[in-house]
Structure 1
Amino acid sequence: MNIHLIAVPYDSAVRGWRMGAGPEALLRSGLEDHLRARGHHVATEIVEAPDDGPATEIRTAFVLAAALRDRVRTAREAGALAVVLAGNCGSALGTVAALAEDEPLVVWMDAHGDLNTPETSRSGFLDGMALAILTGHCWAPMAASLLPRPVAEDHVLLVGARDLDAGEQALLADSAIRLVHADAARAECRGCWTPHAR
């Protein structure tokens, strides 16, 4: 299989900081050699923010998402499996945007809903708005530069969320997004995976 690893080593527009250190740590740990040893052809690319001005979280996040979208599309057009190594939830914007013409189904697996908006967020953390952006609830003009249309709410399954803010709960109550609580997901999957399974 042809695998195209696409690393986006950013968290809050800062390269290699906090969760943004994860993608390159995976590469340093030998991920490429591990996949090649199993017979896969592997290509690796690192998405970098442009050096054309000061990095700001919102602008940089959308610029990175657009670059990621283009790289995932290129990988798919070449018949490769695009595997995104990301340092934040916002990278989903670029990944899903690459699939948007096919009206993708999104399974969002996170302890958080990532459904805050600028009006409901207490932290201002853009990653906490990622699923709200994908479904058209905020940052619509910037999202339109990535997605031809928001992802339909009835195409979204939120799995395992257990830490939802009041604003996220209100949005979910009025939406077609289906929530599978962490306890239900755990009960459903009990026995289907063990740490030693090969």
Structure 2
Amino acid sequence: MPIALTCFQGRAGDHNDLGIPGAKSVAAHLARKLGLETVTVGDPEPALNGHWAVELEAAMPALKRMRDRFDVIYAEGSFSLAATSRCAVSLATLPALARHHGNAVVVWFDAHGDLNTPEASSTGYLGGLALSGPCGLWQSGLGGGLSVENIVLVGQRDLDPFEAELIEAKRIPHIRPATC
């Protein structure tokens, strides 16, 4: 199966500008190591460090391009490998995955659950909504379709009450840091 390497360089709800050069560096390393061409989506822009709604509106053009890129990759029957700057890029990539591979399981390695909804978020941080949007818990404008039954959480040490209740209610597998 062909591998399509994508590097996301757009804005995605960033608190700082560190993720963008990090993603570029990871993509460059992967390209050299695997002998792949890299397709870059988005252009670096300074972090806004704002409320999720402001961040999403600013990021939407690049996120839509990322969603479209993944739709093309999966429609061609290719395997996607991506270097992204922030969790919020998953608002674009996971709905595309769900459309083309409805039974795919997402293993979410992160210190946070990223399962908050806009109403439940105490911080208003877009990244904290990154997994809940693709699961259809709120409408991001980029799609949904990922079933919470197809999520496995690994390493979350900092869960908000809403996330902890959701994990328990939906029986989402959660491997805590002490057991990793």
Instruction: State the TM bucket, normalised to the shorter chain.
Output: 0.7 to 0.9
Deviations along 1:104-139, one digit per CA (max 9) or x if unpaired, are 32211111101122223222110011111122222x
| Residue of structure 2 equivalent to 1:129 | 129
Following the alignment from structure 1 to structure 2, what is the Cα–Cα distance between the partners of residues 83 and 125?
A: 26
Q: Give 1:162 deviation, angstroms.
A: 1.3
| Residue of structure 2 equivalent to 1:31 | 30
1:134 is paired with a residue whose SS is: coil
8 Å CA contact 1:10–1:21 kept in 2: the answer is no
The total of aligned residue pairs comes to: 170
After superposition, residues 55-134 of structure 1 pair within 5 angstroms as 56-101=54-99, 102-103=101-102, 104-134=104-134
Q: How has the CA–CA distance of structure 1 residues 153 and 125 changed in structure 2, closer, same or farther, with 3 Å as cutoff?
A: same
Q: How has the CA–CA distance of structure 1 residues 13 and 168 changed in structure 2, closer, same or farther, with 3 Å as cutoff?
A: closer
RMSD over aligned CA atoms reads: 2.7
Following the alignment from structure 1 to structure 2, what is the Cα–Cα distance between the partners of residues 35 and 70?
A: 24
- Check if 1:171 corresponds to 2:166: yes
Q: How has the CA–CA distance of structure 1 residues 73 and 111 changed in structure 2, closer, same or farther, with 3 Å as cutoff?
A: same
Q: Give 1:84 deviation, angstroms.
A: 0.9
TM-score (norm 1): 0.73
2:81 is paired with a residue whose SS is: strand
Deviations along 1:127-177, one digit per CA (max 9) or x if unpaired, are 011111122222x2x34xx32x43222111111211112222122222242
Could you list the runs of 5+ residues in structure 1 that have no partner in the other structure?
A: 37-41, 187-198
TM-score (norm 2): 0.79
Could you list the runs of 5+ residues in structure 2 that have no partner in the other structure?
A: 49-53
Following the alignment from structure 1 to structure 2, what is the Cα–Cα distance between the partners of residues 66 and 10?
A: 11
Q: Give 1:21 deviation, angstroms.
A: 2.1
8 Å CA contact 1:10–1:86 kept in 2: the answer is no
Rg: which structure is higher? 1
- Letter of the 2:38 counterpart: T
Deviations along 1:30-59, one digit per CA (max 9) or x if unpaired, are 4322222xxxxx22111116x9xx9x4112
**After TM superposition, which residue ranges in structure 1, 4 or more long, deviate above 6 angstroms?**
none
- Check if 1:159 corresponds to 2:157: no
8 Å CA contact 2:5–2:39 kept in 1: the answer is yes
Q: How has the CA–CA distance of structure 1 residues 31 and 135 changed in structure 2, closer, same or farther, with 3 Å as cutoff?
A: closer
Q: Give 1:60 deviation, angstroms.
A: 3.3
Deviations along 1:76-116, one digit per CA (max 9) or x if unpaired, are 33443321110011112222222222313221111110112
Following the alignment from structure 2 to structure 1, what is the Cα–Cα distance between the partners of residues 73 and 12?
A: 26
Following the alignment from structure 1 to structure 2, what is the Cα–Cα distance between the partners of residues 76 and 152?
A: 18
